[in-house]
Amino acid sequence: MSGQSVVTVAGEQPYDVVIGRHLLGHLPAVLGDTVRRVLVVHPAALATSAETVREDLVAHGYDVYLAQVPDAEEQKTAQVAAFCWGVLGQADFTRSDAVVGLGGGATTDLAGFVAATWLRGVRVVQVPTTVLGMVDAAVGGKTGINTAEGKNLVGAFHPPAGVLCDLASVESMAPFDFVAGLAEIVKCGFIDDPRILELVEENTALLQDPVAAASSPVLAELVERAVRTKARVVGEDLREAGLREILNYGHTFAHAVEQVERYRWRHGAAVSVGMVYVAELARLAGRLDDDVVERHRSVLTSLGLPTTYRGDRWEQLLTAMRRDKKTRGDLLRFVVLDGLARPSRLEGPDPTLLAAAYAEISTTPEPSTGILL
């Protein structure tokens, strides 16, 4: 693969996800002629990039405002959303104006939520700058913020007008941030597209170097394949009535880890452990063969992602999982595999089965080893 690729997400409001390098020049076309004011939501680390975006949009005739927000999950709060609403209100944003989310998955979640709730919905364009944002958060129309009780419990479905996945931005990522994002790509390999797993297995050294990977056709193909998986699912099921749940593979346990660790774990690292947990759960339930479970461990370990979690947190994890938004009433629900690329559901598993799967991924508690950053 070379150059740019475009994946169209179907639905009531179809939009394009453009994957390539140096894509900011596309932003005016995606915003359109009817937009006059634009709010660019960005973390402090991207202040220079946000200023570049502002200057370019001003040159195209837009009134542009910048909202600098905290880093990572710290920005996904009601207080930060209220700050953004304040900027929109003071600048007299109307329904024909727009929000741009420039940053990682947390920023696109926040920007999308702010856009969804301002005047009951204004246009949003997502410009994800991390692998996680490109293949997960920015695509699909899910927006949200966290509360003390859990992750993404407050949110709205609000599809973007477009998504620009600029692979050049990946070059500046810290190696573990980059690798953590790959967990969501690996997830798409297990639930839908096994070619993803083969590409990862064939290119593990390359995929641990964000600078080298950013300009490689391998990363471009991995991102495109993951986006195509998500686009197919979201196009059929925007509001998570059924099919879309498969995208939550590994996430019930992952969100519990994130909450127990007070969001000090990167999302991709938690998803990595979460996928191994549900693979073990499916194996113990007689649904999944040993070799597919082992492939989870081998693929994720080859990237340097964690596949175990400390063994003294079960009660806290169980409480967090019962609070997860994928739970129905008191019934715990998990996306599991019946085989490679054969996702299914496991509802209300026996508590002893849940604990046994936890034992399979448990380690003796140790001090932080670098994945808690």
Q: What is the three-state SS of 82-127?
A: HHHHHHHHHCCCCCCCEEEEEECHHHHHHHHHHHHHHHHCCEEEEE
**pLDDT by residue (tens digit) across 11-25?**
888 999 999 998 988
Catalytic residue, chosen from 54, 76, 142, 296, is 142
Whether 326 is catalytic? no
Nearby residues of 254 by Cβ (< 8 Å), 6 or more positions away? 267, 270, 271, 273, 274
Catalytic residue, chosen from 225, 228, 248, 296, is 248
pLDDT value, residue 326: 54
Question: What CATH number should be reported for the domain whose range is 249-373?
Answer: 1.20.1090.10
Catalytic residue, chosen from 36, 240, 287, 313, is 240
pLDDT value, residue 239: 59
Distance CA 78, CA 75 (A): 9
Catalytic residue, chosen from 54, 158, 225, 267, is 267
Q: At what angle do helices 175-191 and 267-284 cross, to 10 degrees?
A: 30
Are the beta carbons of 364 and 311 closer than 8 angstroms? Answer: yes
Catalytic residue, chosen from 26, 76, 230, 297, is 230
Whether 244 is catalytic? yes
Are the beta carbons of 127 and 107 closer than 8 angstroms? Answer: no
| Mean pLDDT within 171-188 | 93
Are the beta carbons of 72 and 145 closer than 8 angstroms? Answer: no
Q: What is the helix (H) or strand (E) element at residue 131, kind and residue range?
A: helix 131-132
Distance CA 203, CA 213 (A): 10
Catalytic residue, chosen from 123, 158, 187, 251, is 251
Are the beta carbons of 308 and 273 closer than 8 angstroms? Answer: yes
Share of the chain above pLDDT 90, in %: 75
Query: Per CATH, the architecture of 5-172 is what?
Result: 3-Layer(aba) Sandwich (3.40)
User: Strands 309-310 and 362-363: what pairing?
Assistant: parallel
- If phi > 0 it is left, if psi is from -120 to 50 it is alpha, else beta; for residue 286 that is left
With CA atoms as reference, report the closest residue to 165 among 119, 117, 223: 223
**pLDDT by residue (tens digit) across 242-264?**
677 899 999 999 999 998 998 88
Q: Of the given ranges (61-70, 322-331, 360-369), which has the lowest mean pLDDT?
A: 322-331
Whether 142 is catalytic? yes
Whether 120 is catalytic? yes
Catalytic residue, chosen from 151, 255, 283, 297, is 255
Catalytic residue, chosen from 37, 54, 152, 184, is 184
Backbone angles phi, psi at 193, to 5 degrees: -130, 90
Domain edges within the chain: 5-172, 249-373
pLDDT value, residue 17: 94
Whether 203 is catalytic? no
User: Strands 333-337 and 142-147: what pairing?
Assistant: unpaired
Whether 240 is catalytic? yes
Whether 248 is catalytic? yes
Distance CA 106, CA 124 (A): 15
* Whole-structure pTM value: 0.90
Whether 236 is catalytic? no
- If phi > 0 it is left, if psi is from -120 to 50 it is alpha, else beta; for residue 242 that is alpha
